[in-house]
């Protein structure tokens, strides 16, 4: 039945290529889109016949170029994937919808590789249905077209969303795992079998990893999987109850991921490796969650981050939540086996500050509220079937060749940083904690052009002999080593946080400033745009994740001066991922605490003291109404040492004990952290 549907739709699209039954204003759009779908049909035949697997490297590169050419920067200005181009040619309402349609249809690339004929049939039929509207009326009612989009999203939730959940928890969904197992670093043609964009970063990464000794690959994998195991041990969670781990990574790292899979299987964990969502129904607006390849054009992805605004309403989220619950219920036992994600991130891309396009779809205020409600309810559903107190994670990051000509040296330096001695850092960090535990607050001041002036209120200890406020963070869930962190008391946490330049979740922020009143974001701005309102919108959408305000969920002091010195040496401060950057100065997270969904788990530092600062006055609401306790986001913002004037613990008497002054650790017993800072820059 599915095959017949697909073949009928493919035949109809072949006819559309030569028809002239729609108005001249629309002909170019429908012919270009039909031509793209014909290319997908050709690809499908190549994949299913087995011919694609035996193509030469040159032939595979040409296929990859054809599939992604129209969204590459050099072609994007004249692509219907670009909402600005589509609106210019087709008008705002038609242009937005048809640009969305073309972008959604581009998901068919990966469906052809995964042999998802039903998905292809659905997209082909959607295209034909909208084409028919323009055949029947040169200027069809926009409401009719929006209705078609809405029912596409609603009707096929039980296909796209349901399959997405199963792929996240079921090791039998093994498309990527099979490819990784079969991959050979001596034949990089395997990279083109995933269906992702393969650029120079992916190719050069794979070539570089192929040149490394197997012993180093094993060490990298070992640090990663041991961090995951330690995350369960250090939080008192029972890993033996779990049998499934999700591995997330970027193409090019298959040689390491092969070893990671082997390590996890030796721990009794079967891997699930699912692709980052490509449909409006499955992709996350702010980040890629899953495995993915190169990004042909970050502006293209940014332009379509809010496409769900074409159909998002309360009825739709009720439908989506119903599907999520049903799928989890059908797979209840499998969901309980899920241990959590192990994430290998990359960094080194040129900083990206997007263009804000009026032609792109934007959520209305009502839709922003609905989107937050969906995030909240879906998060609670996930926690119901995969309890937060039973799962953990780990994250590590490695550079990609785009970082610059020193890539091999930087890569080896990051490998070294990821393997730093946790025990040594733990002892020094305990010195900081011993003073912080005595304080009532911490005062943070910037220097130079940095306008930070912030007081963070600390939890009070009931029994200092058995309890502690700060977690002594070594290298487990967050690799590399190097921070002490706490959940601030919101009431009494006041002041301004300012950073001259920072890179968060793939986006660059200039002159970022947040003002806190009783621990909540009261105002914010950035200098990315001449129009201050655009800057506020940018921060609200990407830092506050659409919320009017967020609490300060974490305060931490990073101690990894080795990582900081390396960033300065190679001039890559603005390219360091937050995972490493947060260890190179004090950082402040807006959103949930580090203990969200697992506050009742008792956690101890290496010295045996229990960490008691896990809740704030927002998260504690979970005891009465869980919907008011969590925001489902946590964004770290770091002040680099060179912008840092002072950090001091404020005692009950008012005395201030300095920890850092003018970017240097001054607390007795922590001076060793300054050694890397004394080495001259490159």
Q: Which residues pair with 14 in a beta bridge?
A: none
Domain assignment of residue 508, given as a range: 422-678
pLDDT at 511: 95
Give yes or no: residues 180 and 144 share one domain: no
- Across residues 177-190, what is the average pLDDT? 95
Q: Sheet with 394-399: list strands edge to edge.
A: 270-272, 244-248, 338-347, 394-399
Tell me whether strands 441-446 and 644-650 are parallel, antiparallel or unpaired: antiparallel
Give yes or no: residues 151 and 175 share one domain: no
pLDDT at 582: 81
Give yes or no: residues 462 and 562 share one domain: yes
- pLDDT of 568 over the 80 cut: yes
> Model-level pTM?
0.91
pLDDT band at 401 (very low <50, low <70, confident <90, very high): very high
pLDDT band at 682 (very low <50, low <70, confident <90, very high): very low
pLDDT tens digits for range 206-241 = 999 999 999 999 999 999 999 999 889 888 899 999
Closest-CA residue to 264 (of 247, 241, 289): 247
pLDDT tens digits for range 436-474 = 999 999 999 999 999 999 999 999 999 999 999 999 987
58-62, 174-178, 583-587: lowest mean pLDDT where? 583-587
**367-368-369-374 Cα dihedral, nearest 10 degrees:** 90
CA separation, residue 240 to residues 232, 267, 400, 424, 623 (Å): 10, 9, 35, 29, 29
Classify residue 28: in a domain, yes or no: yes
Give yes or no: residues 316 and 375 share one domain: yes
Q: Which of 394, 414, 447 is a domain's end point?
A: 394
Average pLDDT, the chain: 94
pLDDT at 680: 46
- Across residues 476-502, what is the average pLDDT? 92
- Across residues 193-215, what is the average pLDDT? 97
CA separation, residue 148 to residues 34, 44, 310 (Å): 18, 26, 11
Give yes or no: residues 129 and 190 share one domain: no
Alpha-carbon span 410 to 416, nearest angstrom: 10
- pLDDT of 504 over the 90 cut: no
Give yes or no: residues 121 and 186 share one domain: no
Q: Which of 92, 126, 155 is a domain's end point?
A: 155
Q: Which of 155, 178, 212 is a domain's end point?
A: 155
CA separation, residue 379 to residues 325, 405, 594, 633 (Å): 11, 42, 16, 11
- Across residues 150-171, what is the average pLDDT? 97
**Count: domains in the chain:** 3
pLDDT band at 480 (very low <50, low <70, confident <90, very high): confident
Give yes or no: residues 147 and 183 share one domain: no
Residues 433, 470: contact at Cβ < 8 Å? yes
- Across residues 345-356, what is the average pLDDT? 90
Give yes or no: residues 639 and 500 share one domain: yes
Classify residue 363: in a domain, yes or no: yes
Classify residue 409: in a domain, yes or no: no
pLDDT at 679: 62
Alpha-carbon span 629 to 616, nearest angstrom: 9
Give yes or no: residues 14 and 135 share one domain: yes
pLDDT tens digits for range 79-126 = 999 999 999 999 999 999 999 999 999 999 999 999 999 999 999 999
Structure tokens at 388: 């937060």
Give yes or no: residues 89 and 235 share one domain: no
């Amino acid at each position: 039945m599915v095959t017949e549907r697909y073949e009928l739709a493919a035949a109809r699209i072949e006819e559309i290529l030569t028809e002239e039954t729609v108005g001249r204003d629309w002909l170019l759009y429908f012919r270009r889109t039909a031509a793209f779908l014909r290319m997908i049909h050709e690809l499908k035949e190549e994949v299913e016949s087995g011919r694609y697997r035996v193509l030469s490297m040159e032939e595979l590169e040409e296929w990859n170029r054809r599939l992604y050419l129209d969204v590459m920067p050099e072609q994007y200005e004249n692509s219907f994937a670009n909402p600005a181009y589509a609106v210019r040619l087709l008008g705002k309402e038609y242009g937005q919808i048809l640009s969305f349609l073309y972008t959604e249809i581009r998901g068919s690339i990966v469906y052809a590789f995964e042999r998802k004929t039903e998905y292809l049939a659905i997209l082909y039929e959607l295209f034909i249905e909208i084409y028919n509207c323009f055949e029947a009326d040169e200027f069809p009612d926009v409401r009719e077209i929006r209705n078609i989009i809405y029912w596409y999203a609603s009707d096929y939730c039980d296909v796209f969303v349901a399959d997405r959940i199963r792929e996240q928890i079921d090791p039998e969904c093994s498309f990527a795992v099979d490819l990784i197992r079969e991959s050979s670093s001596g034949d990089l043609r395997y990279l083109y079998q995933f269906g992702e964009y393969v650029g120079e970063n992916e190719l050069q990464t794979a070539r570089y990893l192929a040149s490394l000794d197997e012993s180093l690959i094993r060490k990298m994998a070992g640090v990663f999987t041991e961090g995951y195991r330690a995350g369960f041990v250090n939080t008192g969670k029972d890993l033996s109850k779990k049998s499934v781990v999700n591995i997330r990574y970027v193409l090019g790292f298959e040689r390491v991921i092969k070893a990671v899979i082997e390590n996890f299987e030796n721990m009794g964990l079967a891997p699930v490796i699912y692709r980052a969502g490509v449909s409006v129904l499955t992709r996350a607006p702010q980040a890629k969650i899953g495995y993915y390849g190169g990004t042909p054009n970050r502006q293209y992805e940014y332009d379509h981050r809010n496409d769900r605004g074409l159909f998002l309403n309360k009825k739709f989220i009720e439908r989506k939540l119903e599907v999520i619950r049903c799928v989890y219920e059908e797979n209840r036992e499998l969901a309980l086996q899920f241990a959590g994600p192990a994430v290998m991130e990359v960094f080194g891309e040129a900083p990206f500050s997007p263009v804000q396009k009026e032609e792109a779809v934007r959520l209305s205020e009502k839709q922003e509220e609905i989107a937050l409600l969906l995030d909240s309810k879906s998060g609670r559903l996930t926690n119901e079937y995969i309890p937060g107190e039973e799962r953990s994670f780990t994250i590590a990051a490695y550079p990609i060749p785009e970082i610059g000509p020193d890539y091999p040296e930087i890569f080896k330096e990051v490998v070294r940083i990821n393997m730093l001695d946790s025990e040594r850092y733990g002892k020094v960090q305990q010195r900081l904690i011993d003073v912080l535990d005595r304080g009532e607050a911490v005062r943070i001041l910037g220097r130079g052009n940095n306008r930070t002036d912030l007081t963070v209120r600390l939890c009070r200890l009931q029994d200092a002999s058995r309890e502690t406020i700060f977690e002594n963070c070594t290298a487990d869930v967050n690799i590399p080593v190097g921070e002490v962190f706490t959940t601030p008391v919101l009431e009494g946490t006041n002041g301004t946080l300012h950073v001259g330049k920072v890179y968060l979740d793939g986006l660059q922020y200039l002159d970022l400033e947040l003002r806190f009143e009783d621990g909540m974001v009261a105002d914010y701005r950035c200098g990315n745009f001449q129009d201050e309102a655009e800057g506020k919108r940018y921060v609200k959408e990407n830092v506050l994740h659409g919320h009017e305000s967020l609490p300060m969920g974490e305060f931490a002091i990073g101690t990894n001066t080795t990582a900081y010195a390396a960033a300065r040496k190679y001039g890559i401060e603005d390219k360091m991922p937050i995972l490493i950057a947060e260890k190179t100065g004090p950082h402040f997270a807006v959103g949930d605490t580090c203990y969200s969904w697992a506050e009742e788990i008792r956690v101890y530092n290496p010295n045996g003291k229990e960490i008691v600062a896990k809740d704030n006055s927002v998260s504690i609401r979970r005891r009465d109404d869980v919907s008011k306790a969590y925001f489902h986001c946590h964004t770290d913002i770091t002040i680099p040492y060179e912008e840092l004037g002072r950090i001091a613990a404020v005692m009950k008497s008012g005395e201030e004990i300095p920890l850092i002054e003018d970017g240097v650790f001054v607390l007795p017993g922590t001076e060793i952290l300054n050694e890397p800072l004394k080495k001259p820059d490159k």
